[in-house]
């Protein structure tokens, strides 16, 4: 069964538009971690954020923000005022036990100038 669902396969926006990436997860554990990674065309994964299951505070880092809602098992990611450099594949991931990550299918974001 899919533990992490990223329903959006591809999103295309014009520069300066906001873009929100959805992530829905499934777990029976009470302690777990959620991650977002960026994978540019080079292939190397870039860590963006880690959130543990007990911390539901939303977080903002520059143009990036994350909304964690346990009630809906969602951990959505918003890029504000998108830029061409934001073009990449973004993965949401869940860690239930011992740092093994279950990745979502990924969302390809294309930002057009």
What does each C-alpha distance from 87 to 15, 39, 52, 54, 61 come to in angstroms? 10, 9, 27, 31, 18
Find the part of the chain contacting another protein (CB under 8 A) among 13-21, 22-30, 79-87, 102-110: 102-110
Are 6 and 23 contacting, i.e. CB atoms less than 8 angstroms apart?
A: yes
Closest CA to 65 of 55, 78, 48: 78
Q: Taking CB under 8 A as the rule, does residue 95 contact another protein?
A: yes
Beta carbon nearer to another protein, 17 or 33: 33
Q: Smallest gap, in angstroms, from Cβ of residue 101 to another protein?
A: 6
Q: Compose the 19-58 pattern: x for residues touching another protein by CB under 8 A, - for all others.
A: ----------------x-x----xxxx-x--x--------
Strands 10-14 and 107-112: parallel
Q: Taking CB under 8 A as the rule, does residue 110 contact another protein?
A: no
Q: Smallest gap, in angstroms, from Cβ of residue 16 to another protein?
A: 27
| Site residues, another protein (CB under 8 A) | 35, 37, 42-45, 47, 50, 91, 95, 98-106
């Amino acid at each position: 069964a899919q533990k992490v669902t990223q329903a959006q396969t591809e999103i295309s926006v014009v520069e300066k538009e906001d873009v929100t990436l959805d992530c829905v997860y499934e777990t029976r554990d009470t302690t777990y971690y959620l991650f977002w990674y960026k994978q540019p065309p080079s292939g190397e994964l870039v860590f963006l954020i880690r959130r543990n299951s007990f911390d539901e505070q939303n977080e903002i880092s520059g143009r990036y923000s994350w909304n964690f809602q346990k009630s809906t098992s969602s951990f959505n990611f918003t890029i504000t005022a998108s830029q061409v450099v934001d073009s990449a594949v973004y993965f949401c991931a869940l860690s239930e036990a011992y740092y093994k990550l279950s990745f979502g299918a990924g969302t390809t974001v294309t930002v057009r100038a």
